[in-house]
Chain A
Amino acid sequence: MTVRRLAFIPLLAGFAIAGELQSQVPAAVQFPRAPAVTGMGSAGVARVGGSGASALNPALVATTPRPAIHLTFEDTPDADVRGLAGRAVFAVPLGLSLGIELHTRRVDDLVEDPAIDESGFRVGDRALRTSVGYAMVGGRLAVGAGMTTTWSDVFGTKGRATFFDLGAVYQIAGPRLAVGAAIRRLGGDLEWTSTSGEPLGVSIPAGIRVGLASGGYRLGPVSASIAADLEHGAELDHAAGAVGVEFGYRDVLLLRAGREMPAAAEGHWTAGIGIRVGELTLDLAYEAVRHVGVRMQIGAGWNNAGSAIGADVR
């Protein structure tokens, strides 16, 4: 049976939102990880040396070569969502590591009619994440804390949230195996304020994320790493999971693949490629987010450890 034509005509509405909000992490406060992490299904709570996963575990900034900077552009063409992220990790006094992330993204093409002034129809989000980490026990144990503040704008309705993360990562068997854990999104509410000044609070459920990463396996010029995460929270309706693998060739070319299973959403596959030349890195990642479209990320960075970034568990 063929459907010849289905005219799909939505009418958009300004909702008067009231009542109890569902307990899921609002999309406005969720930002993608760095492409090196995305390519592995966003499994990264125990990825030593991977500051791009500090949103999952702030302790990871203490395992990252310092200084390091990274810039990422992301695009989801089917959803008209584009964003930019910058990350930097520095050494600061008292043996601490400081990680700073800035994100901005927006949804485009909200209005197709060129006769209509689109300037008032904006949807976008920004985020600032600060992570502080400290390495101890000969560098095998790292602990960290992070604070994230997000700002959203939906046609003049402003949203703001601040929440905290605590994390630790421990290398159990030298460079071969690490375990990580983080308590995420503590104390967070997304507070919306309408153009009329009316407030609305959206709960951001906290969660506990645990995971492991194993790497340093080498066969000639080929290396391999794996990572897996599991996240759950009492207020979350569903658990989230992620698993990924990475294969390297001479520590220059890296191929990644993974599967991310977000809470209350269908799982999707991810893939990525990385190139490391000296102190420079170039990463590309794709993730096929169901019902939203393929998200592409491309990132370039520099760190002071060159191709030997971090430990063997990444």
Chain B
Amino acid sequence: MGLAQKLPGSGIDTPPGVLSRRRIPISFSVASSGKGSSAASTTARIRAEGIMSLSIDVPEAARVTIRIYDRTGRLIRTLVNETVSPGQYAFRWDGRADAGGPPGPGVYYAVMKAPGFSDRTKLIVVR
């Protein structure tokens, strides 16, 4: 889980690579694309840095996948696909595709799946 980082203050053992939350100049909420699902509210924020963070709260050990797709349904990046222990994690996306280069500005969809759970949200890549 190379991109996984434990959020501070969760009270749970911290995996390597802690991601510190920073102040953000702009914050807003966006609707989860998984409308009607049992998903918790989805919050999106823009920050000045060029790293996107997708945070999850896992109450029980679960196999979790987070994949990023473009508007045509093409897989851009797999952020995680493994079993994680309970806790809060943040997975960072540096805007690059599995193939290497960045896919370009646009709207992307991060799809998170775990047993009994599926959620999706928009990610906006700008320059």
> Which listed residue, A12, A17, A110, A152, touches B52 by the CB 8 Å rule?
A12
Please tell me if the beta carbons of B119 and A6 are within 8 angstroms of each other in the complex: yes
Task: For the complex, give the distance between the alpha carbons of A292 and B56 in Å.
Answer: 21
Q: Are B74 and A10 in contact (CB under 8 A)?
A: no
List B contacts of A198 (CB < 8 A).
127
A15 close to B71 (CB less than 8 A) = no
Determine the chain A residues whose CB is within 8 A of the CB of B67 once the complex forms: 291
Q: Which one of B64, B111, B123 lies within 8 Å of A291 (CB-CB)?
A: B111
Q: Are B115 and A16 in contact (CB under 8 A)?
A: no
Tell me which of A205-213, A247-255, A262-270 binds B. Answer: A262-270
Judged by DSSP, the binding face of A is loop
- How many whole Å from A55's CB to the nearest CB in chain B? 14
Query: Given A5-B59, A13-B52, A80-B31 in contact, is the A156-B126 Cβ separation under 8 Å?
Result: yes
Interface contact B126-A157, CB-CB below 8 Å: yes
A91 in the interface (beta carbon within 8 A): no
Are the C-beta atoms of A78 and B35 separated by less than 8 Å? yes
**What interface size band does chain B fall in?**
35 or more
Q: Which residues of A contact B34 (CB under 8 A)?
A: 78
Q: What 1/0 flags go to A4-27 for Cβ under 8 Å of B?
A: 111111111111111111101011
In the assembled complex, the Cα of A309 lies from the Cα of B107 at a distance in Å of 38
Contacts of A109 in B (CB 8 A): 30-31
Give which listed residue, B59, B96, B106, contacts A26 with CB less than 8 A. B106
A110 near B124 (CB under 8 angstroms)?
A: yes
Contact A192-B105, Cβ < 8 Å, known A1-B60, A14-B127, A292-B72: yes
18 additional A-B residue pairs with CB within 8 Å, beyond A1-B61, A21-B102, A112-B31: A2-B115, A8-B56, A10-B42, A13-B47, A13-B49, A14-B50, A17-B102, A19-B96, A24-B99, A26-B104, A78-B120, A159-B104, A200-B105, A237-B99, A265-B73, A289-B72, A291-B75, A291-B111
Residue ranges of B at the interface with A (Cβ–Cβ < 8 Å): 24, 28-35, 39-62, 64, 67, 69-75, 88, 95-97, 99-107, 109-112, 114-117, 119-127
Which A residues are closer than 8 A to B by beta carbons? 1-22, 24, 26-28, 30, 78-81, 107, 109-113, 116, 121, 123, 152, 154-157, 159, 190, 192, 194-195, 198, 200, 202, 237, 262-266, 268, 289-293
